[in-house]
Amino acid sequence: MSMSAELLLVFFLLCAAGVAASVVAPARSGPTALAVIGAAAAIALLATGAVLMGVEPGFRLELWSMLFGGTMALAADRLSAVLMLGAGLVFLPVSIFSATYLRKYAGHCDLRYFGVCYFVMFAAIVLVFIAGDALSFLAAWEVMSISSYLLVTYDLDREGSAYGGFVMLALGEAGTIAVTIAFILMVIASGSLQFGDWRAVSPHLTEGVAWAVFILSFAGFAVKAGLVPVNSWLPLAHPVAPTNVSALLSAVIVNLGIYGIIRVNLDLVPVHGAVPGLIVLVVGSVSALIGILYATIQSDMKRLLAHSTIENMGIVAAGIGATMIFLASNQPVIAAIALIAALYHLINHAVYKALLFVGTGAVEAGAGSRDLDLLGGLVRAMPWTSAFVLVGVLAISALPPLNGFVSEWLTLQTLLRSAVLSSTAIKIIFALCGVLIALTAGLAVTCFAKVYAMGFLGVSRSAGAADAAEVGWGVRSPLAFLAVFCVLLGILPTYVIPVIDRVAYPLTHASALPALVPPFFLPQAQQAENLPPAFLAEFHDLGAQTGEGMLPGRGLVVLHRGQASNPVVFAMSTSYMVVALAVLLGLVFLVFRLLTLGRRTVRGRAWDGGLRRLWPSLTYTATGFSNPVRVIFHAVLRPTTIEDSTEAVATHFRTAIRLDHADVPIIDRLVLRPPMSGLRWLAELVRRMHVGYVNAYAGYVLLTMLVVLVIGLAILR
């Protein structure tokens, strides 16, 4: 067995140990056992991913043969590896966080049940990444779906738990059915269950089958990825799920959907033509905008983060769509850049979203609420949590030099590369999608400025927030771990991109490395890649080679090197930026200190217009902060009135005005509700059959048999 396979075996053994430990461990030490074994498993997974990425390009293990379609197999490649790395990066801190978090369930929920589901889900997720045939893929997928459903509905006492879980399961299963049909079509076309055989037949598929496979698999995987119009489960499942499960849902489970899209539609059965790519691009861009729009108007932090997941998955999907289109237009290098951007964003999102969910858990533990309307002023009581969450907020707002900026910037830049395409119609769609993504980026800043300003700054708006206490290192350490990765992924893109490039290369058949990370540090590579001297000289003057000889890697500048006529399409360096920022801030600080030398600093209260005191009820709430967005996008949001009432004494003395509006997500309104009401109508019709007489039911049985007979006869003919 190869080293990676051995490491993976260790991982699965640890998962099995986790299941066993969960069953036998006493309730008191259950969370600790889960944390230790979960973290160990995550480390094993990270090691597997690292080995696959660095040493071995992949492995294939034949398990046992089946009656039909060859043998059941496990196969890992670098696409699996990057997803494993992403999952490991999230599972490690979340497992540690769980040790503290799960204690709140001790006593009224069965922790053994949680532990078993947790490790089964973990193992199933990894199995999905390494499934080498349709059967093992679908089996792993189902186990993952069901175990994650069980985890989401773990706390059944929570309001909406049953409904949220049901929508998640129902939509997920609908998605599985779509994927299964797509797989059946491929099995029929190729005569094999093996993914390897599908690759071989995919160029020879008929147009109809190719389209059917694309539509069905994309629709099926889009459910898990939380793309419109099948995203409704995300904002319902997240608020009811335990916070550690929410983190896994948003940071790992949704990635499986993206993995499915890449695996099936880029690797196994690559799409033909530009139209499928356009569909993915448009779905992604619209998801991004709708996601952030609903995120901005939420005040429940978990619901807000759930909507923001839809947004981020939309950005990833837009990158994948762009990859497909550039591939179809024979632009493999730009396609590779787009795919790198998408995968980079996938990892980044996993890291900062896990950070923000764990941060939400910390806030909930410290201040007793995760409703932004009831928080405020936590920066004083919870300085550590606030600092780590600030990193996450800056990262998700795509502000440099953090990781969200790098991948979102790359995605936007590739969308702007539509100039190389020939079709005007596609260019226009690219431009519109670029606009949607840019608007999304802008709203994201509003949204997360609100999270930080309303949650952590200002006046505490509830007793819980006023008496908030900092969380222990059991929660702070996972936050710190994730925050460090947010920073590292942000300031070292030139080290991350070569790694992801290895994933993209087999799919796009072109390396983006020479175009994206020019070897400013390596003279021999400059000659090998034939970099023009003029180009090098220009960047030499700017100091791009600074660190040459001392630093490993190719350089610290991310740029897109185009043709001779247009040598640099775009360029940036968060690595240098962070140095420049530090120097500038240091200078400002120094100058400030020099100017104020020997002066006394007077601290005063915020100017409040001469109020006697600034009561919390007189300060802005999160809802108030985002209400302008609600007003501007009223036509999209169309809130429904729950309550509008006015009470008065003697006509003129009003004593109460009550207003309550609910936002029905536009997707639910337009996509989910009509078929649901149709189904309900149908069910109503069917219900009439149930008259309660035995004779009638005997009649139905007879009728059914008759119909079956007729159909059977017809087929035999």
Give me the residues that bind another protein (CB under 8 A), please.
299, 373, 602, 604-605, 607-613, 615, 617-628, 630-631, 649-660
Nearer to another protein, 537 or 649 (CB): 649
Which single residue is written with the structure tokens 């001297």? 533
Nearer to another protein, 96 or 622 (CB): 622
Residue at 665: amino acid letter: P
CB of 450 to another protein, least distance (A): 11
CB of 160 to another protein, least distance (A): 16
Is the bond into 665 cis (omega within 30 degrees of 0)? no
In 3D space, the residue among 490, 554, 543, 547 whose CA is nearest the CA of residue 517 turns out to be: 554
Nearer to another protein, 163 or 615 (CB): 615
Nearer to another protein, 427 or 630 (CB): 630
Q: Is the CB of residue 108 less than 8 Å from the CB of residue 155?
A: no
Burial of 346 (0-12, 13-18, 19+ CB in 10 A): buried
CB of 624 to another protein, least distance (A): 3
In 3D space, the residue among 516, 537, 519 whose CA is nearest the CA of residue 527 turns out to be: 519
Q: Where do the DSSP E strands lie in 136-288?
A: none
CB of 199 to another protein, least distance (A): 53
CA angle, 557 then 560 then 562, to 5°: 135
Nearer to another protein, 422 or 655 (CB): 655
CB of 591 to another protein, least distance (A): 19
**From the centroid of its chain, how far is CA 106?**
30
Nearer to another protein, 383 or 639 (CB): 639
- Conformation bin of residue 557: beta by default, left when phi > 0, alpha when psi is -120 to 50: beta
Nearer to another protein, 308 or 621 (CB): 621
Q: Is the CB of residue 571 less than 8 Å from the CB of residue 558?
A: yes
List, as one string, the DSSP characters of 509-552.
SS--HHHHS--SS-HHHHHHTT--HHHHHHHHHHTTTTTTTTS-
Q: How far apart are CA 166 and CA 149, in angstroms?
A: 8
Q: How far apart are CA 56 and CA 3, in angstroms?
A: 8
Nearer to another protein, 563 or 645 (CB): 645
CB of 626 to another protein, least distance (A): 7
Q: Residue length, the chain?
A: 717
Residue 357 has phi, psi (to 5 degrees) of -70, -45
Nearer to another protein, 615 or 697 (CB): 615
CB of 611 to another protein, least distance (A): 6
CB of 300 to another protein, least distance (A): 10
CB of 515 to another protein, least distance (A): 46
Q: Is the CB of residue 278 less than 8 Å from the CB of residue 321?
A: yes
Which single residue is written with the structure tokens 């729009």? 293
Nearer to another protein, 506 or 616 (CB): 616
Nearer to another protein, 424 or 651 (CB): 651
Nearer to another protein, 226 or 239 (CB): 239
List, as one string, the DSSP characters of 97-156.
HHHHHGGGGBTTB-HHHHHHHHHHHHHHHHHHHHB-BHHHHHHHHHHHHHHHHHHHTS-T
Q: Is the CB of residue 304 less than 8 Å from the CB of residue 451?
A: yes
Nearer to another protein, 209 or 622 (CB): 622
In DSSP terms, which residues pair with 109 in a beta bridge?
A: 106
CB of 647 to another protein, least distance (A): 8
In 3D space, the residue among 251, 283, 250 whose CA is nearest the CA of residue 265 turns out to be: 283
CB of 92 to another protein, least distance (A): 37
CB of 301 to another protein, least distance (A): 14
In 3D space, the residue among 79, 78, 529, 129 whose CA is nearest the CA of residue 333 turns out to be: 529
CB of 462 to another protein, least distance (A): 12
CB of 585 to another protein, least distance (A): 24
First to last CA, the chain: 53
Nearer to another protein, 550 or 631 (CB): 631
Q: How far apart are CA 339 and CA 219, in angstroms?
A: 20
CB of 617 to another protein, least distance (A): 5
Nearer to another protein, 267 or 373 (CB): 373
Residue 73 has phi, psi (to 5 degrees) of -140, 155
Nearer to another protein, 602 or 701 (CB): 602
- Can you read off the two tokens belonging to residue 649? 């004494």
Residue at 136: amino acid letter: S
CB of 161 to another protein, least distance (A): 21
**From the centroid of its chain, how far is CA 202?**
29
Q: How far apart are CA 479 and CA 476, in angstroms?
A: 5
Q: How far apart are CA 483 and CA 663, in angstroms?
A: 33
- Can you read off the two tokens belonging to residue 216? 């069905």
CB of 653 to another protein, least distance (A): 4
Burial of 671 (0-12, 13-18, 19+ CB in 10 A): middle
In 3D space, the residue among 512, 399, 487 whose CA is nearest the CA of residue 446 turns out to be: 399
**From the centroid of its chain, how far is CA 574?**
23
Nearer to another protein, 587 or 618 (CB): 618
